[in-house]
Amino acid sequence: MIPGTVQSLPVGDPRRPRLARLLPGMTVAVAACLLFTLTKLIKPIYLHAPWFNDPYDTVLSFTVFFVPLTTAVTLVRVWLCRTSEPLPLPRVVAIIRGSRVVAATSTLEILSAWIAVAVSANRAEWSPAATGLLLVLLAITTAATANLWFLLRSTLRLVAGDGSMVPLTFDWLWDATTLARREVSRFGRFQGLGLRVVDWIDFNLVGKSRRHSIGAAGAAAASFSLVVFGWQAFREGYDTGSTLLVLALGFCGMFAFLVLAGSYLGVARSSHRLHGLRRRALAARDSLWRIVGNSPAHAGPAQLAMLLGWGAGLAFILTFLAETTLRLHPGTIR
């Protein structure tokens, strides 16, 4: 997909250094969010977390994948930005959108954790040392995420003073293959081989992903669910019914994120018109934005946060009801 002529910020534009301030803010927010989330892997500490049990724990289980995934997608576009070249506004907008998804995902995690604190969830296991450390990390993550939202608000005003977003004219897959071609040119005598590999991937894998974006999202979500939640079910000895349940929850959670965030971030844009079942499926996906009274082209951070919130809330309710019905976490009453 070859992008057409787009509006750009020229070299030396005074807005460019101010736009660059978003990146340190995003880096700090991502680092704080991941540090907080990865405490889930340190059992002696995490056992004392107010958010140790579902539905709060479900948020951390997904956030630990959503935030790095979105960050990686965004960094590809950041890597293409050079101070010695004009900066296309659609690429700036794509970076802003990636930062918004990171901020929205982190915000959902933070809200879930603070709710667990407010209702004194897992209160019997709280300890001054472990729980206190977790609360300090939660406070740091909250401050870093709030700072990122502030930077996003000021950055948007630099790009479009009226608050409207510049439409994305080329997708992330095009950015990724462009970056790959640029980097393999550094391989010296292996440059030709590297370019042929990138061309093969672009023609066979990237092209098919564009033509079948929903199917590609489904395949990625299924792989994620089998590897992550399947391993969890095997390691913890779930029965067949419980295994199928967690696999379904893992698939649905990741599929919803890939479709919604992928549409918002412009991961894939097909060059072919869709018809029939595929067109109705795409329309159904885009219609999800109407739940919060908006459309994919005009959705902002508030609408994204609301939509993710609706999805997360529904996932929490289904998880809670299913695990209560199946009695997956029996315990003694204290």
Question: What pLDDT was estimated at residue 262?
Answer: 87
Distance CA 226, CA 93 (A): 34
Write down the pLDDT at residue 146. Answer: 95
The pLDDT score that the predictor gives to residue 272 is 53
- Evaluate whether 295 touches 286 at the Cβ level (below 8 Å): yes
Q: How confident is the model at residue 300 (pLDDT cuts 50, 70, 90)?
A: low
pLDDT at 333: 41
Domain boundaries, the chain: 14-169, 212-327
pLDDT score, position 27: 92
100-114, 174-188, 218-232: least confident range: 174-188
Model confidence at 1: pLDDT above 70: no
Nearest by Cα to 116 from 57, 66, 172: 57
pLDDT of residue 186: 80
User: Is the confidence at residue 92, as pLDDT, over 90?
Assistant: no
Read off the pLDDT band of 286 (50, 70, 90): low
Give me the percent of the chain exceeding a pLDDT of 70.
75
Average pLDDT in the chain: 80
Structure tokens given for 236: 């913890």
> pLDDT per residue over 194-209, tens digit each?
888 888 888 888 888 8
State the Cα–Cα distance between residues 79 and 28, nearest whole angstrom.
Answer: 18
Q: Is the pLDDT of residue 21 over 80?
A: yes
Residue 267, C-beta contacts closer than 8 angstroms, at least 6 positions apart: 73, 171, 172, 173, 213
Most confident of 61-65, 290-294, 320-324: 61-65
Determine the pLDDT at residue 319.
65
In angstroms, the Cα distances linking 239 to 229, 244, 245, 321 are: 13, 9, 10, 18
Higher pLDDT pick, 160 / 41: 41
What integer is the mean pLDDT of 171-188? Answer: 85
Q: For residue 212, how many other CB atoms are within 10 A of its CB? A: 15
- 268-281 tens-digit pLDDT: 876 555 455 555 54
pLDDT tens readout for residues 239-266: 888 888 888 888 988 998 888 888 888 8
What's the whole-number mean pLDDT along residues 173-191? 84
Q: Which of 308, 237, 181, 262 is nearest to 316 (CA)?
A: 308
Length of the chain counted residue by residue: 334
Is the confidence at residue 181, as pLDDT, over 60? yes
The answer to whether 40 touches 65, Cβ cutoff 8 Å, is no
Tokens of 11: 């070299």
Which band of pLDDT confidence, cut at 50, 70 and 90, is reported for residue 70? Answer: very high
Q: Which pLDDT belongs to residue 4?
A: 42
